[in-house]
Chains A and B, each alone.
Chain A
Amino acid sequence: MDIFRFLIFPGFLFAALVGLIFTWVDRKVTARLQWRVGPPFLQPFYDFGKLLVKEITLPEKGERFSFLSAPFFGLLATVLVAFILGLTITVPTRGFVGDLIVILYLLVIPALAVIVGGFASANPLASVGASREMKLIMGYELPFILAILVPVIKSDFSIQLNQILFFQQQHGANIWSLSGFIAFLVCLLVVQAKLSFPPFDIAEAETELMAGPYIEYSGALLALYRLTRAMLLFLLPLFLTILFFGGVSLSGCLLLPSILKILLVLVLIILIKNTNPRLRIDQGLRFFWVNCTLLSVLAILLAYLGL
């Protein structure tokens, strides 16, 4: 049963399908915002299938093993996130103490995989991209953890997702309190960086680094990276929905509002992506370390005061 949950629902296959559909939503909304028509519904699936057909090129001087294995580690961590988040929603009794912390760790691994893959490809542009990604991680992890402390404090210091959900069922969603709202804002910006969307697409910077760490990847390996990204595009909004919007429910008439909640977060992310130019890496770091960190400290204080 757990194998089924891991591989099919709500694990790998389900998250991958929804993630690819969310990628389409992203591209379509982006196109509409730019007054274009945008790609057809199945476009992310076509892209994925096409990449599987293409040749896999290996960089001549690169480190073969890390280059080949990095995308798999990223994908594996993402599937685990999908599994844990999915369990929290489908089988609420199955959570374990500290699953929130496990998820925080797992969410770093896709970015680490990108860094390892980028450095292993022995391409100067990829190295620059990977080192920027590394700095960006150091930038956003601090405010992210601080901001996530807010729902933890609110639900009586419980680091278990279903306890946080339970608290929100009793007292209303976290977003409706002042501290919850501030923490949500910070998390939204961090998610933006985790997805490497503008204004934090500093590592990929397509106009200066072409594709950054991904530059040497082709074919199926690139497809794995893109699949990881697509799944994160679904999982991160889902995670925020669980922490701040009272989670999602699969039963009957509550399904539609649940989907709308996730889509709301997604569209917010897309809007930020389309209305902001890329920051320099130092601006990005300052933004996270000063503005976001101060905001989340403020949110923690407010949460202590019960606001």
Chain B
Amino acid sequence: MANWKINALTRSLWVFHLSAASCNNCDIEILDLLTPRHDVERFGIVLTGSIRHADVMLITGIVNRKNVPRIKRLYEQAAKPILVVAVGTCACSGNMFRTSYQFAGPLDKIIPVDAYIPGCPPKPEAMIDGIVKLIGKLKGK
């Protein structure tokens, strides 16, 4: 991507949150980011309801046989450039479900992942750190 494109993108990240069969703890921690304590709107980060509007796709939970086609489909429907962030150990590696018969991941086997935020669930601070690292990576630092 060109430099000005990256600049435009990183100043206003709209996040689409996909819960791919998570236990919901990760999702609750993501919502913490929007509360007064962390308030990521300070950096222009807001949640959107439609994948077409999103710049970041946050995926939580274990990738399993049932939701692989859906994850792929959503990734294809997104307006590019789209960044994918795997939140939680489940999405990053499979956590304790990695030996399950249903397990079809981890996520980076299905779609390219730009950032991993491990933790079960990761702390909101860890997620902000992950986003900062993602922006750093985009800018080539």
Q: Which residues of A contact B (CB under 8 A)?
A: 27, 31, 34-40, 43, 46-47, 49-50, 52-57, 206-207, 209-211, 214-219, 222
Contacts and interface: CB of A to CB of B under 8 A. Distances in A.
Interface residue range, chain B: 20 to 34
A36 B41 contact: yes
B39 A36 contact: yes
Q: Looking at A36, A215, A217, which has the most chain B CB atoms within 10 Å of its CB?
A: A36
B50 A215 contact: yes
A37 B42 CA distance: 6
B52 A57 contact: yes
Nearest to A27: B41
B19 to A, nearest CB: 14
Contact of A34 (B11, B36, B80): B36
A55 B36 contact: no
B79 A218 contact: yes
B80 to A, nearest CB: 5
B contacts with A: majority SS = loop
A contacts with B: majority SS = loop
Nearest 7 Cβ contacts at the A-B interface: A210-B49, A218-B79, A46-B11, A218-B52, A36-B39, A46-B12, A35-B36
21 contacts: A27-B41, A36-B35, A38-B42, A43-B11, A46-B11, A46-B44, A47-B12, A49-B11, A50-B8, A50-B11, A54-B55, A54-B81, A57-B77, A57-B79, A209-B49, A210-B50, A211-B48, A211-B50, A214-B53, A216-B50, A217-B52
B36 A56 contact: no
Interface string B96-122: 000000000000000000000000000
B12 to A, nearest CB: 4
B141 interface: no
Given A211-B53, A218-B53, A53 B9 contact: yes
B138 to A, nearest CB: 13
A36 B36 CA distance: 4
Q: Looking at A27, A40, A54, A215, which has the most chain B CB atoms within 10 Å of its CB?
A: A54
Given A31-B39, A37-B42, A38-B42, A56 B49 contact: no
B36 A222 contact: no
